[in-house]
């Protein structure tokens, strides 16, 4: 069994819990997820199964989309409502104009400091492990990109107002931290109250299966046909076609000349290219080597290459 299975992660499960459950259902050891979700968070969790684990790094690099609810007037140590309250204002007054102005200011390239309750490694330990020991250490900020940030709903007449927004962002963006930073920009503490991941690795909710559906499909012998082939999840890379003779050259570890491929569209000098044979078979991922005018193999998808 090889391919990508988009799972709708339920609340209360870790990403590793989901992997373990699916591993037990399909009886395949090689399964990897494409981006951790906190236990309380629901949403899209693509799993790479079998030989598709070789594309995990490329799938998880793709943008992710979320819907979040944030609450103003409260701060916690985890930056969401599961943590210990560190600050709570008696009431907060905000205007729609100010909220829209601040949200728009976060679109683009920004810097984030990873939260203490995160899986980032520092000194060989996960930050959440240090946090559980009562430690708070200095973390370096890192760049992330917010591609879009849209206000969906708001309840400003409450003691602690809430807003709901959608966000499209780069890998490594912490929505909890984004909520805290938005609050700081408005001059009030804030936390993430709810979070749903609506898109990851190019997969949406409509393409996802629940754990119950996965078990039913497997029992009926229909799950494998529901898997997405690895190369379809890499459609953000340029596509090129070569002759079957050059396919064999690739399988033999030989380089292919750039002028031997037909590129469907444009590519940059440092592009990763999806290479196919004229029969439509997926050969693998390659990158152009301008010095030798050849394609250099990144990953060749043959049975012998695994």
Active-site amino acid positions: 38
Give the pairing type, strands 142-155 and 262-264. Answer: unpaired
Residue with tokens 């996802």: 208
Alpha helix positions (H), the chain: 15-26, 56-59, 96-105, 127-132, 175-186, 211-219, 244-251
Give the pairing type, strands 42-49 and 190-200. Answer: parallel
The Cα–Cα gap between 63 and 297 comes to: 25
CA dist 19 → 13, 14, 45, 183 (Å): 10, 9, 10, 35
The Cα–Cα gap between 275 and 295 comes to: 10
Percent helix, strand and coil across the chain, each rounded to 5? 25, 35, 40
Identify how many contiguous H helices and E strands the chain contains and give both numbers. Answer: 7, 19
Q: Which of 109, 110, 99 is nearest to 185 (CA)?
A: 99
The Cα–Cα gap between 62 and 232 comes to: 13
The Cα–Cα gap between 142 and 161 comes to: 29
């Amino acid at each position: 069994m090889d391919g990508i299975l988009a799972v709708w992660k339920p609340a209360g499960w870790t990403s590793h819990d989901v992997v373990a459950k699916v591993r037990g259902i399909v009886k395949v050891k090689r399964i990897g997820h494409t981006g951790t979700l906190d236990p309380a968070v629901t949403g899209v969790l693509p799993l790479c199964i079998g030989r598709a684990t070789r594309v995990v790094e490329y799938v998880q690099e793709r943008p992710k989309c979320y819907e979040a609810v944030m609450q103003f007037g409260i701060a916690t140590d985890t930056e969401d409502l599961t943590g210990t309250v560190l600050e709570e204002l008696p009431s907060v007054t905000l205007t729609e104009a100010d909220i829209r102005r601040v949200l728009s200011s976060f679109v683009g390239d920004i810097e984030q400091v990873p939260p203490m309750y995160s899986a980032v490694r520092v000194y060989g330990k996960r930050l959440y492990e240090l946090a559980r020991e009562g430690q708070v250490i200095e973390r370096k900020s890192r760049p992330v990109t917010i591609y879009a940030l849209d206000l969906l709903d708001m309840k400003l007449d409450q003691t602690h107002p809430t807003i709901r927004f959608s966000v499209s962002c780069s890998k490594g963006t912490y929505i909890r931290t984004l909520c805290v930073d938005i609050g700081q920009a408005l001059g009030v503490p804030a936390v993430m109250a709810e979070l749903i991941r609506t898109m990851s690795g190019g997969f949406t909710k409509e393409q996802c299966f629940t754990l119950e559906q996965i078990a039913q499909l497997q029992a009926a012998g229909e799950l494998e046909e529901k898997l997405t082939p690895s190369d379809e999840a890499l459609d953000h890379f340029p596509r090129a076609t070569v002759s079957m003779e050059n396919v064999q050259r690739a399988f033999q570890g030989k380089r292919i000349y750039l002028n031997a491929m037909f590129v469907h569209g444009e590519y940059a000098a440092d592009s990763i290219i999806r290479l196919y044979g004229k029969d439509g078979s997926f050969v693998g991922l390659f990158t152009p080597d301008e010095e030798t005018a050849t394609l250099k193999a990144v990953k060749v998808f043959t049975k012998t290459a695994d």
